[in-house]
Amino acid sequence: MLKKIKVQDVRLGMFIHELCGSWIYHPFWKKAFELIDQKDLKALQECGIAEVTIDTAKGLDVEAAPTASNKKEAAIPTAESQKKAEPRIPFQEEIHNARKLHAKSKKIVSFIFREARLGNALQVEEAISLVEEITQSVSRNSSALLSLSRLKSRDDHAYMHSVAVSTLMIALGKQMGMEKDTLRSLGMAGLLHDIGKMMVPDDVLNKPGKLTDVEFEIIKTHSQRGWEILKPCHDVDDIMLDVCLHHHERMDGTGYPRKLSGEAISVFARMGAICDVYDAMTSDSCYKKAISPADAIRKIAELQSRYFDQTVFHAFVKAIGIYPTGTLVKLKSGRLAVVAEQTAKSLTTPIVKVFFSTKVNEPIFPELVDLSKLPDSIASVENPDNWKLDVKAMTGI
């Protein structure tokens, strides 16, 4: 039986059927779940949602809440809740580590991809170590490495796209509460998901104009060919193979190579699909110009009902923000700013770096501003081309 109750009446052992509020304001990626962790109970009580719907057929009712004697027992922290929170450091501190890691990752991924092109057996030990470093950087401050994800030249686009997808997969996996070993597999899946493109002729892969039907069919073989490259590698697991083969599948069955749909697509492949498309949209390539991170989120939201998993997409937005790192915004105060990182308080109040006054039409001293602590707010997302400003040079982001 479904019953709507106040959040303050929620207890461990209840089955949450629905959270009565926008997904923006709560930290859970599952639509329905049994509430068994004290940490989740605390998060639910503090997220700002007033009511939830419980299913008393699957969990405790309000009247069947734990008694005084076993409430104390239920409140004992689990092994998961006793884990120490990973230390988060300021963006400006982590960005230096991220830049070194960004440069290092290009060398490692380009080597692996060249070996694949030459038909050599893949040695991915360095990639495993790299993923560990990426995971640590994301844990310290995910915004730092994500802010570098769009910095790709035409020559290194294939390699750095893989690094960006790896970073996004790890950030998304952390948002969805996945364990360390799974995060490692997701990071590796991101690094290797496009390795099959090394088997695609350069004149097709890097064609600046529209592909012919024949050329597009050639491109579509890269997921299968990547799977064939990775299959013999002893350090490659099922998650990596699954993401490589199925990251172009779509929820409505219009993807490739198997035209899978709905539940036939694993959650990992659904994650890979969103991360891959988001980075592709926000990166310049030989055949298209990048769009802003915020515009990419908006576009994926429009396509989500057909192509992407709603729950995974919501978790993705929480991981990178409604205004992702690197988004140029105009504040209500008239200042231009670039989003530097997200805040825990709200997806709509990130930390931004202000650098230009539209009122006097001139640069101002760059300053980090936490919008969750000020009356100022975002008025609009701006196109950098319209302002003819070197945003990166002026902000250092």
Q: What is the mean pLDDT of each run of 10 residues along the chain (397 residues)?
A: 86 85 64 80 76 85 51 36 58 88 93 94 91 95 85 73 96 93 96 96 88 95 97 94 98 97 96 96 81 91 93 93 90 94 85 94 91 93 84 64
- Relative to beta strand 328-331, strand 335-341 is antiparallel
Phi then psi for residue 301, to 5 deg, are -60, -40
The matching CATH number, chosen from 3.40.50.450, 1.10.3210.10, 3.30.470.10, 3.50.50.60, for 91-320 is 1.10.3210.10
Q: Indicate left, alpha or beta for 372 from its phi (over 0: left) and psi (-120 to 50: alpha).
A: alpha
Phi then psi for residue 184, to 5 deg, are -60, -45
CA separation for the pair 140, 280 (Å, rounded): 25
Is-above-0.75 flag for pTM?
yes
CA separation for the pair 44, 370 (Å, rounded): 24
pLDDT given at position 278: 96
CB neighbours of residue 292 within 10 Å = 21
Domain ranges of the chain: 2-74, 91-320, 328-395
pLDDT given at position 242: 97
Q: Tokens for 274? A: 């969103």
**Cα→Cα distances 280→86, 235, 256, 284, 333, Å:** 30, 27, 17, 8, 32
Distance of CA 28 to the CA centre of its chain: 15
Q: Are 16 and 34 in contact (CB under 8 A)?
A: yes
State whether residue 26 is helix, strand or coil: coil
Q: Are 294 and 382 in contact (CB under 8 A)?
A: no
pLDDT given at position 74: 35
Which of 317, 229, 236, 328 lies closest to 278, judged by CA?
A: 317
Q: Indicate left, alpha or beta for 16 from its phi (over 0: left) and psi (-120 to 50: alpha).
A: beta
pLDDT given at position 200: 94
CA angle 53, 57, 58 (to 5 degrees): 80
